[in-house]
Structure 1
Amino acid sequence: MQSSLSSAECIQLLARLPRGSVEKIAMWPNVHYKKDVIDILMWNRWLLRVLGVWPLVYPDTTRIEKILAIFSFALCWTVLSLFLILTSMYTFSDRSIMSEKMKMLGPLGYVFFSMLKYFFLVVRHKSIRQCIKILSADWCMVKEECHRKIMVRDAEKGHLLSKFCIVFMYCGGLSYNTVMPFLSQAPEHEQNVTVRPMAYLGFDILFNLQLMPVYVFAFLLQCFTGVVMFNITTSVCCLAAMFVAHACGQINIVISRVKNLVKSEQNNNVKFEQGIAIIMQHHVRALRFSANIEDTLREICLVELVGTTLIMCLVEYSLMMEWNNSDSIAIFTYFFLFISFVFNIFIFCYISELLTEQCSKVGHTTYKIEWYKLPGKTALDLMLMITMSRYPIQITAGKLISLSFANFGNVLKTSLAYMNLLRTAI
């Protein structure tokens, strides 16, 4: 990513934003904005580069990066499509028995929902690019050092959530891809034949796994496919965490301005009318950005919610089967994989709750200040902020279900209900 943004480019970036979104807000460029923008986009840059999506959401990339992105994009779709075709042929044919079919439904569903999320990442690239432009502009025009510290603090929270998501997903997924095939117990009917351990069944349709070079290639291909799927999941989570952390930072700046409003009026440092105008403009800008986040992520969150619920059901079923088989390695792997999916959907619900709470906090903070010391008519202007805070922004799954802690519990209960239904039916 190019980091050589000049002050003129910063102002041009602000000029490209929606009309009225930067009026009455201080536009002094932040001298640290180059490093700040690079730091906040760090995880998303590396994850989306692997998927070949980065040039779509961040236009200031070199020609070499765009060429490599096209190659990565084609390679990722090729391996995902190959994986989906081979596993589908094996799962829904007479080549597999019922236990193998149930074992492969989880990976098959995961690759299908990963491809859907990949598709929506590409379809929504213009919305993601617009959010990144607004984010970059906010870092460019932050004036006061205390406000920059607020933004840095919230950005660090977003980085922390991203790190947890990456660690859990990769540890659980790589354990399933590499550890379990080699260390778990082999089925009894395979003890007297040479078996090449594979995490995903069905690759023997196209590859002769008895040949060692072919087996190594197929095994590495499976691992690479797993990395692509993990990157899709973690990139979506990191995007959501980054955007929501930035929105929370902007709202915290609004709260800071509101707390200092009465002090500014008493000291006559700035006129109250100018101060309330700046606060209102900043608040509206933060709410618009939050609404853009919800609009950008709604389809992806719907796929994430439905896919995670179904896959958790299948993981729970596999965990119970391995518990009956007393396979400790497989039990540990499926348990860690289950925790990874639980944590992933928890992250989405947590950041949605965090955004909703921050939007509501503006109204509570506005009421708590010494508004009674302000002029009677001008104090009424604060009622607008209080009223707006009564309807906080919520991240939804396709505008059908709001992501919240209550619905997080419903996801867990639904997956258990589906698992009991599946165990009864089979």
Structure 2
Amino acid sequence: MPSAKDEHDFSYRRDIRSVFKLNNWILGSIGIWPVTIRGIRRHVYKIAIAVCNLTFSFALVPCALHIIYDEKDIIIRLKIGGLLLFCLISMIKYCILAIRRPKILRCIEYMKSDWWQVTFKSDREVMLKYAAISRNLTIIGASFMYTAGIIYYLIVVPFFFEHKVNNQTIRPLVFPIYSKFHQFQISPIYEIVYVAHCMCGYMIYSVTAGACGLAALFATHACGQIEMIVSRLEDLVNGARCKQSPKIHQRIAAIVKDHVRIVKFAIVVEEVLREVCLVEFISSVCTICLLEYSCIVDWQQDNKLSLANYFMFFVSLCFNIYILCYIGELLMEKSSQIGYTCYMINWYQLSPKSSRSLILIIAIASHPIKLSAGGMVDLSLLTFGNVLKTSVAYLSFLRTLVM
């Protein structure tokens, strides 16, 4: 018969694998997910980061030269510029996440410690519920992003972008190349470059989906911990769940300790995501605007396949910024609930000394936990609406300028 400790250890390992699996797959493939490895293998992530940055640069530099020196059509320039901007922003986010790897590891250790300390079945169910929310958000966002990328890279570009110049067929690349580099049309160089561009595309979509998945993972975990604190506050007077702490001041001390731990965890999460959210917030306005413009142009030209692809990219980017704003809203709402619950319980049945202990909890909860874009804009559903409105305003300006 397995002991209670063995059962707890088995349950813990199973839950940890389930919670981190998706994020490990996405971010681990590009060297961002921190893994504790000893020996020479602990330097593998450095090699992966260097290779990824070289791949980004390999796609960015020739494409930028093509826009500056070769392309004269303003509409095509805008389309390629949107692709180039998306790649550049992904590279910046990748570098930020690479720098923040130690803090990401710290957040992961926070989460592992919380899962290890779970004792009540109800608490575990709450944590699993929020882990499922994180997993579903990550799956939906990654599915949109990877599906749009596969269609564009493996169907649209190779089969629909070929054109002829001086009776010569020019084989297309995902990222256009500066015309002085003639050798890129020669086999097998063309195939090697195309594969490198596909690798760059995979990294772009992995960084975008992985950053949103990471934010969802940490924020929903904090929400789960807050809900557990709320349930303990609701049970504070009766103490039915806390038989091991029969004294009221011990139960209050445990609640305060857990509340402080969540606040500290949220501070580290904010440090990890602050710059990523800022870059995502600023870039999404421009990128969504360019995608809207591309959809309008393809609609006018009756280019249905390209329209469908750009529309899928548009939905993917909108959903990614929505994830960040949604979890920011959820975190603010949940953290504010602690103070509200403190006031709504039968605190008047407690002794005056114990009642006064709740004042500090209410004071801390009056400043809810927030996710911000660089400390300048709080992420909320209102922010998401502002992003869409701003992108439409820029679209109107762009159409007036170009047409």
On whether the aligned pair clears a TM of 0.5, the verdict is: yes
1:43 alignment counterpart: 22
2:227 alignment counterpart: 252
Q: Aligned equivalents of 2:96 and 2:229: distance in 1? A: 32
Tell me the CA shift for residue 35 of structure 1: 2.5
What is the identity percentage for the equivalent residue pairs of Structure 1 and Structure 2? 33
Q: 1:61 to 1:44 in 2, by over 3 A?
A: farther
Q: 1:38 to 1:404 in 2, by over 3 A?
A: same
Tell me the CA shift for residue 115 of structure 1: 1.1
2:372 alignment counterpart: 396
2:88 alignment counterpart: 112
Aligned pairs for 1:137-286 within 5 A: 137-182=113-158, 184=160, 193-202=168-177, 205-206=180-181, 208-264=183-239, 270-286=246-262
Q: Is the Cα–Cα contact under 8 Å of residues 162 and 171 in structure 2 kept in the other structure?
A: no
> In structure 1, which of residues 335, 340, 347 is the aligned counterpart of residue 316 of structure 2?
340
Give the partner amino acid of 2:397: L
Structure 2-normalised TM-score?
Answer: 0.91
2:106 alignment counterpart: 130
Q: Aligned equivalents of 1:63 and 1:322: distance in 2? A: 53
Q: Is the Cα–Cα contact under 8 Å of residues 130 and 220 in structure 2 kept in the other structure?
A: yes
Q: 1:30 to 1:259 in 2, by over 3 A?
A: farther
Number of equivalent positions: 395
- 415-424 vs 137-146, greater mean Cα deviation: 137-146
Q: 1:191 to 1:351 in 2, by over 3 A?
A: farther
> In structure 2, which of residues 321, 326, 349 is the aligned counterpart of residue 350 of structure 1?
326
Q: Aligned equivalents of 2:154 and 2:41: distance in 1? A: 31
Give the partner amino acid of 2:121: E
2:66 alignment counterpart: 90
Give the partner amino acid of 1:313: C
SS of the aligned residue for 1:34 comes to helix
Q: Aligned equivalents of 2:142 and 2:271: distance in 1? A: 24
2:32 alignment counterpart: 53
Q: Is the Cα–Cα contact under 8 Å of residues 207 and 214 in structure 1 kept in the other structure?
A: no
CA deviations on 1:95-136 (whole Å, 9 max, x unpaired) are 553333112101110111111101111222222222112111
Q: 1:185 to 1:325 in 2, by over 3 A?
A: farther
Tell me the CA shift for residue 291 of structure 1: 2.0
Q: Aligned equivalents of 1:265 and 1:192: distance in 2? A: 84
Give the partner amino acid of 1:331: L
Tell me the CA shift for residue 30 of structure 1: 5.8
1:408 alignment counterpart: 384
Q: Is the Cα–Cα contact under 8 Å of residues 70 and 179 in structure 2 kept in the other structure?
A: no
SS of the aligned residue for 1:410 comes to helix
SS of the aligned residue for 1:308 comes to helix
Q: 1:47 to 1:265 in 2, by over 3 A?
A: closer
Q: Is the Cα–Cα contact under 8 Å of residues 335 and 365 in structure 2 kept in the other structure?
A: yes
Say whether 1:102 aligns with 2:78.
Answer: yes
Q: 1:206 to 1:65 in 2, by over 3 A?
A: farther
Tell me the CA shift for residue 358 of structure 1: 0.7
Q: Is the Cα–Cα contact under 8 Å of residues 356 and 392 in structure 1 kept in the other structure?
A: yes
Give the partner amino acid of 2:265: F
Tell me the CA shift for residue 178 of structure 1: 2.5
Structure 1-normalised TM-score?
Answer: 0.86
Q: Aligned equivalents of 2:235 and 2:123: distance in 1? A: 13
Q: Is the Cα–Cα contact under 8 Å of residues 65 and 178 in structure 2 kept in the other structure?
A: no
Q: 1:312 to 1:143 in 2, by over 3 A?
A: same
1:16 alignment counterpart: none
Tell me the CA shift for residue 384 of structure 1: 2.1
Tell me the CA shift for residue 204 of structure 1: 5.8
Q: Is the Cα–Cα contact under 8 Å of residues 178 and 199 in structure 1 kept in the other structure?
A: no
Q: 1:113 to 1:277 in 2, by over 3 A?
A: same
Query: Which runs of 5 or more structure 1 residues have no equivalent in the other structure?
Result: 1-6, 8-28
RMSD: 2.4
Q: Is the Cα–Cα contact under 8 Å of residues 196 and 209 in structure 1 kept in the other structure?
A: no
